[in-house]
Every structure is written in structure tokens, then in C-alpha cells.
Amino acid sequence: MIRELKRRVCEANRALEERGLVVLTWGNISGIDRASGLVVIKPSGVAYRCLAPDDMVVVGLDGRTIEGRLRPSSDLPAHLELYRCFPETGGITHTHSPNATAFAQACRPIPCMGTTHADYFRGPVPVTRPLSGPAIEAGYELNTGRAIVERFAGLDPMSVPAVLVAHHGPFTWGRTPEEALENCVALEAVAGIALATAAIEPGAGDIPSNLMEKHFLRKHGRGAYYGQNQQPT
């Protein structure tokens, strides 16, 4: 099970570069085996094209390294906090993709302006509060995760599987590492569309709520009929 998860997490990390979501080593993907409570994550600072499954680092939810010769991503504590607090999550992605990061640096949520956004995110993609000085100085990565969890108080993280960390960048998640990657691709695309829309029409508003609900639920709701895995109801 862990060997297969290492392969999948490795492939997902390599895909970040292939999809144009990262430059240098600006991002990482992890996955969790809920049965064992073990997390697999990219090693810190290793070029994506050089990654092999055996380079992945296996850790417990307490952060203790179980397997691996390399140091795990420095963002590991944030990933672990999300796994502990979002129990349906099976994979997490963090990048500095340009469009989504522009919103994060501006400390602005990504508005839900059209159906493209609503196909993946049931409303605006929120932004966290900026971290305080003490939270930056001690336990920075863990406190990043805590700020994300705090921002989702009263929200369903599986309906809006993404967040912008203020002054930093985006995190996305899903039920698998592959789904987390897909949501990362979608997030960067809708962030770019929102920026272009605002440039064309600065006064453009949010999508009507009934249209947003229709597009999200036809793909993710109980009676979903988008794609080939389910039959129309």
C-alpha cells in the first residue's frame, strides 16, 4: 500500500512541473494512507525531474519520519495539520502558481464569477488572515496549517477544496493526491480567468447563486450526472 502511494505521490509531484504549476522547487504534493495513518510527501528542495518513488518521505501524523533518506518538505507541518483536521482529505498540494499566488499576495479571495469556477469550487476561494509575528517566528509551518483550518470554520473543505494563504500562496486538497493536483490545476486556471475578467470589466460581479449551485452539484452532488462514472437521475 505505501509503495503504491509513494509511486502516486511521486508522479503527482512530477506533474506539477509538467503542468506549469511550479518553477524551481516551489511546491509539493503529499498523500495519506488513512488505514495506517502514514503520510507520503516530496523531499525538500529536490528537482521534480529527478524524483523517484524511493525519494518520497514517509512520516506519521506526528511528523516522525518512518521511511526515507531525505528530509521531507519544509511545509510538512501544514500538510499534517490539514490531514488531522480535514478527515476526508487524502491528498494535498501546495504551489506558488502565478495567478493564484497573485491573489494570495494581495490578500484577496478568488471570486466565483462564472460556471468554470463553480464546476470545482462552491463559492469564492477564501484567503487566510496574515500570521502574527510570534506565529511566524515559532512554528511557522504548523501555524500556517492552523490558519487554514481556522479560516474554514463553518465551511465545508470538500466543497471548496482550496485556500489562499495570505502573502504566501495556494493550497488545494482532494480525496486523493491526483484529485488534489486536479484542483490545483483548476485553481490556477480560474484565478487567471478572474484576473482577466476584472481587467475587461472591473465591475463584474459574482455568478448568480442558483447557477453556481447547478454547476457544482451536477458534478459533485448526490445526483451528479457530469462525466461517465454516474448515470443521470
Q: With cut-offs at 50, 70 and 90, classify the pLDDT of residue 230.
A: low
Q: pLDDT > 70: what percent of the chain?
A: 98
The residues, ordered by sequence, that sit 6+ positions from 191 with a Cβ below 8 Å of its Cβ are 97, 99, 100, 102, 103, 110, 125
Q: How far apart are CA 61 and CA 17, in angstroms?
A: 27
pLDDT given at position 187:
98
Residue 223: what pLDDT? Answer: 86
Question: What is the predicted pLDDT for the residue at 232?
Answer: 42
Q: Is 76 helix (H, G, I), strand (E, B) or coil?
A: helix
**Is 39's pLDDT higher than 90?**
yes
The catalytic residue among 33, 55, 119, 140 is: 119
The pTM score is 0.94
> CA dist 125 to 23, 79, 117, 208, Å?
23, 18, 9, 16
Mean pLDDT of 185-205: 97
- 48 belongs to the catalytic site: no
Q: Where are the domains of the chain?
A: 2-220
Could you read off the pLDDT of 80-102 as tens digits, one per residue?
Answer: 999 999 999 999 999 999 999 99
Q: Summarize the confidence of residues 120-134 as an average pLDDT.
A: 98
Alpha carbon of residue 43 to chain centroid: 18
What pLDDT is recorded for position 233?
39
Which of 33, 55, 140, 226 is catalytic? The answer is 226
- For every residue of 1-39, DSSP letters joined together read -HHHHHHHHHHHHHHHHHTT--STT-EEEEEEETTTTEE
pLDDT averaged over every residue in the chain: 96
Contact between 170 and 161 (Cβ < 8 Å): no
Q: What is the CATH number of domain 2-220?
A: 3.40.225.10
119 counts as catalytic = yes
Judged against a pLDDT cut of 90, whether residue 143 lies above it is answered with: yes
* Residue 97: half-sphere exposure toward Cβ, Cα within 13 Å: 28
The Cα 41–Cα 102 span in angstroms is 25
- Cell 495570505 belongs to 166
Tell me the mean pLDDT in the region 108-116.
98
